[in-house]
A and B are shown apart, each in its own frame.
Chain A
Amino acid sequence: MLSVNTVLAVCLGYVVLLFAVAFIVDRRTRTRRLGWLNSPVVYTLSISIYCTSWTFYGAVGSAARNGLEFVAIYLGPTLVFVGWWWCLRKLVRIGRAHRITSIADLISSRYGKSSSLAVLVTVIALIATTPYIALQLQSLTRSYQVIAGESDGVATAFWIAAGMALFTILFGTRNLDANERHQGVVAAIAVEAVVKLFALLAVGVFAAWSLADGFTDIFADVPAEVVVGAGEVFGARWVVLTFLSATAIICLPRQFQVTVVENIDERHLSTASWLFPLYLFGMTLFIMPIAIVGLKVMPAGANPDLFVLTLPLSAERHELALLAFLGGFSSATSMVIVATIAVSTMLSNHIVMPIALRVLAAGRAVSGDVRALLLVSRRVCIGVILGLGFLYFRLSGGSDALAAIGLIAFVGVAQFLPSLLGGIFWRGGTRTGAACGLLAGFALWAYTLFLPSFGGDVILSPEVLRDGPAGIAALRPQALLGLDGLDPLVHAVVWSVGVNALAFVVVSSLTRPGALERLQATVFVDVYRAAGGAPSSVLVGTAASEDLFLLARRILGDGFARSLFDEMAAAQGRSGGLPDPTDAVIGRLERELSGSIGAASAHALVNRIADRQSLGMTELIDIADESQQMIEAAHEFAEKSAELERTAVQLRAANERLRALDAQKDEFLGQLSHELRTPMTSIRSFSEILMDEEGVPDQERRRFVSIINEESQRLTRLLDELLDISRLEGGSIDLRLETIGVPEAIGKALDAIAGTTRDAGVTVTADPGRAGLRVESNPDRLRQVLINLLSNAVKYNPAPQPEIRVSVNENGSMVDIDVADNGGGVTHAEAAMIFEKFARGDRSDRSYGVGLGLPISRAIMRAMNGDLTVEFAPDGTSFFRIRMPRADP
């Protein structure tokens, strides 16, 4: 056992070294002095993140328990790199050509840039990666406990997770390169790859030649536990493991990241195709010897998963143990960092950003703020992913349940395989097919492998695991439809990947891809041809009709092309599908296309498809895209001029309105002048009479003085009213609303005007409403309005026996007070204008010099959430109606 301080110091020094490497490389990348970094060796070493701590510690454990089975995990990738490197090359080419940022991006791009597929892949990747990260935290924590003595595992795991989050945020999100490359991180990982290989080789050499006497000695006496070369080796589980690991080297988000996204030169792949298998060979060379020696040397019951660390420790070789610890540390951190970068890119690009951009104001989407937002979202996602990993570690209690997680994650990401391979090798794959396959595979994976891995603790209870949900044996998670007696892993792979691939192929065959899907299918599947510029001949026979339709759709638009082709198919007596490419069909299509792109182009395009001359599909689509763009531009132009036209109309209308307002203002000023000059005329004239005229009798003088007084008051009142209405209309007056009783308000107004009505001999009939009826209003202002209406009714009532009737009506949430008189009211024409300022009724007896009374009253009522209107009774007579909101009881 080593002192905690030594271990921490060495770790810290190592981390500082990694930081320095990442920092220097990042800077050299920015100054474009890549030098040795632009080397296929660095690329190959970065791919070695395939070997996580699960390899570093777990492979020995696996060998100690299951013999050669662990080899399958490294055989798959070896087979892919040696035998399938052309598949990787195609992925790399597509990734570079289309600036692919993640496996989710690739799958969504291939299937018509579908955002829902991207989300689906991202979710699966996140769910499959989180436990994998937890596994790394666990192995780091355990190895730390072994080398530095027991400590608080949870706290250790937390600091490890936090440290890795810091590193990943610092070097994974320093900038947003358009192609999402992180040279600094890749370089640090390459260093870690060398360290872990060196450490494992060192322990291996130590075990083989220090603790034993070479390979011959070791294999001469193999313990019974290690079943070398047993019949199981080439059994179903072995085949499935090989298949899974082969799949994982392509489909794991982190492998996709280093192999495809971080690739800076396609030629590096050819070096990797032999160097990476060699690296794997180096990593596995001493697994078996270490396991056998460990079993012999270590006390019974020692955990073989930690032999790599405990062997040197037990021999007091502390420096070797420390090196082994650093190797394990390197394996775990490199995996976690790259996996976090890969998954956070997906999470941020396909889930967070689309939501954020939709939520944020559209204006921000075009500004530079999005880059900042994207960086923040990346960083938060990194934190979230590591947080989830830590949480998973914490909840699983660091139990042995984690051990199987590597394989569970492999099966999870294997669900990407059908859509991925189908996408780059088969044009027929459709978005719906991919989505169905992914969903089915994901669901089956979760049901048959992921959830049962919790041993009945999460969602699926132990009873369900044993007897199936609701006791239906056919639905037992680990023996679906009675497929019994298989290894659970084999069972899950057969079901999930099998159904996934089947659903993908069957649904793809049944569904019709959209235009964009077809285009993407072509450019993905034919990536070499497109890149080389060699024209690909259009397929003969059945393809012709479809190609014609595709062409028509890109030029004429989807709806029109569809109806055109349906019509032509119907003319040929078909009930559905596409018409045969007869001369009539081709001629018709050519005519239709001529309308959009001109006769010559239409002829050339259609003939080249119909006559199968060798014009590349890509070129055809390019031409079609250009015309589509021109049509769109023309359409846009037409829209613009229509918009201009609309703007002009609006401007004219606004101008008219302004002119009308201007005339209205002149009219108002004229009226105002009249209202002001009239009393001033009397005042001036009578005061001049009093000053200049002689011999005016005293009685006359007194009368004239009282006229002057009366007209002065009229002038003052007018000015008050003017100020009042301008404040009311400007909204600068605050009418404090209170709950007031309607009968009381009417009573007060009637009292105030009682003198006037008595003098004028007017009979007032009032029905002031039920007691307790309340409204929200300002009592003073309401009384002002009521008095205005009542005094108008007194003043302008020509009836010989004038009467006024006041009544109250409840009208839902509103209360109406109606004021009517028997003077006949106003005409419809007058009703339309009496609320204008200084309106004068056209009456022969006396001009309607009501001035501002009614406009003020209306403004008051409206400011109090009510209204003042003229209403007409069925008999044609008019009355005034005050409307106010009822107070809630």
Chain B
Amino acid sequence: MAKRVLLAEDETNIAVSIAFLLERAGFEVTVENDGRKALDSVMANAPDVVVLDVMLPGLDGYEILHRLRADRRGASLPVLMLTAKGQREDREMALKCGADLFMTKPFSNAEIVSAVRRLADGAPD
């Protein structure tokens, strides 16, 4: 059974490319472009991996991660955070909030696919 990825990304074009790559790599991808909907979706569908952009309308990435980690259902969910700000404080903030991996845009396609694969493989069933 294909592993499921929730992609929270408000930039449509980026979402299209990541979804395209992950689907080619054999994942089942759900895209949300709003922070609040993304959190609801994670809570409701319990995906295997969450790819989370920091700057989202509604709720930002840190806030979503914070709430996930505070919840039983999301406490150990593997999360890859993406940010376009690329400053040192963002990485520290992401890891502090409990992200498993952190990646700065622009990323290489191979990098993001292997990162999601690693998180999916290490994820407990």
Chain A residues packing against B (C-beta within 8 Å): 666, 669-671, 673-674, 677-678, 680-686, 688-689, 692-693, 700, 704, 707, 710-711, 840, 842-847
Q: Are B10 and A685 in contact (CB under 8 A)?
A: no
Q: Are A670 and B87 in contact (CB under 8 A)?
A: yes
Known: A686-B17, A707-B16. A680 touches B106 (CB 8 A): yes
CB of B109 within 8 Å of the partner chain = yes
B14 proximity list for chain A (CB < 8 A): 678, 681-682, 685
Q: Are B85 and A673 in contact (CB under 8 A)?
A: yes
A845 to B58, CA, bound (A): 8
Measured CB to CB, the closest approach of chain B to A678, in angstroms, equals 5
Measured CB to CB, the closest approach of chain B to A662, in angstroms, equals 14
Known: A685-B109, A689-B109. A844 touches B18 (CB 8 A): no
Q: Are A685 and B17 in contact (CB under 8 A)?
A: yes
Write out, one digit per residue, whether chain B residues 99-123 have a CB within 8 A of any chain A CB (1) or not (0). 0000011111110000000000000
A688 proximity list for chain B (CB < 8 A): 108-109
With beta carbons under 8 angstroms apart, the residue of A684, A707, A843 that contacts B106 is A684
24 contacting pairs across A/B (C-beta < 8 A): A670-B85, A673-B87, A674-B85, A677-B106, A678-B11, A678-B14, A680-B105, A680-B106, A681-B11, A681-B107, A682-B14, A682-B17, A684-B108, A685-B18, A685-B106, A689-B20, A689-B109, A692-B109, A693-B24, A707-B13, A843-B57, A844-B36, A845-B34, A847-B57
CB of B95 within 8 Å of the partner chain = no
The residue on B at minimum CB distance from A708 is B13
The residue on B at minimum CB distance from A843 is B57
The residue on A at minimum CB distance from B37 is A844
Measured CB to CB, the closest approach of chain A to B27, in angstroms, equals 15
Measured CB to CB, the closest approach of chain A to B52, in angstroms, equals 15
B104 proximity list for chain A (CB < 8 A): 677
A673 to B34, CA, bound (A): 21
Q: Are A846 and B57 in contact (CB under 8 A)?
A: yes
Q: Are A673 and B86 in contact (CB under 8 A)?
A: yes
Size of interface on B: residues with Cβ below 8 Å to A: 29
Known: A707-B16, A844-B34, A847-B10. A681 touches B84 (CB 8 A): yes
The residue on A at minimum CB distance from B83 is A674
Known: A685-B18, A707-B16, A711-B13. A844 touches B86 (CB 8 A): no
Q: Are A682 and B109 in contact (CB under 8 A)?
A: no
Measured CB to CB, the closest approach of chain A to B5, in angstroms, equals 16
Given contacts A681-B14, A686-B13, A700-B20, 10 further A-B contacts (CB under 8 A): A669-B87, A673-B85, A681-B105, A682-B13, A684-B107, A685-B106, A688-B109, A689-B20, A692-B110, A844-B34
The residue on B at minimum CB distance from A676 is B84
Write out, one digit per residue, whether chain B residues 26-50 have a CB within 8 A of any chain A CB (1) or not (0). 0000000010100000000000000
A845 to B37, CA, bound (A): 11
Measured CB to CB, the closest approach of chain B to A710, in angstroms, equals 8
Known: A693-B24, A707-B13, A843-B57. A677 touches B36 (CB 8 A): no
Q: Are A681 and B106 in contact (CB under 8 A)?
A: yes
Q: Are B57 and A677 in contact (CB under 8 A)?
A: no
B24 proximity list for chain A (CB < 8 A): 693
A693 to B21, CA, bound (A): 9
Q: Are A844 and B109 in contact (CB under 8 A)?
A: no
Measured CB to CB, the closest approach of chain A to B83, in angstroms, equals 8
A674 to B36, CA, bound (A): 21
B106 proximity list for chain A (CB < 8 A): 677, 680-681, 683-685
CB of B7 within 8 Å of the partner chain = no
Q: Are A677 and B105 in contact (CB under 8 A)?
A: yes
A677 proximity list for chain B (CB < 8 A): 84-86, 104-106
B110 proximity list for chain A (CB < 8 A): 692
CB of B77 within 8 Å of the partner chain = no
Interface positions, chain B 53-87, Cβ under 8 Å from A, are: 55-58, 83-87
A842 proximity list for chain B (CB < 8 A): 57
8 closest A-B pairs by beta carbon, nearest first, are A677-B84, A685-B17, A681-B106, A681-B105, A682-B13, A684-B106, A674-B84, A847-B57
B86 proximity list for chain A (CB < 8 A): 673, 677
The residue on B at minimum CB distance from A692 is B109
A685 to B112, CA, bound (A): 10
B10 proximity list for chain A (CB < 8 A): 846-847
A148 to B21, CA, bound (A): 123
Measured CB to CB, the closest approach of chain A to B86, in angstroms, equals 5
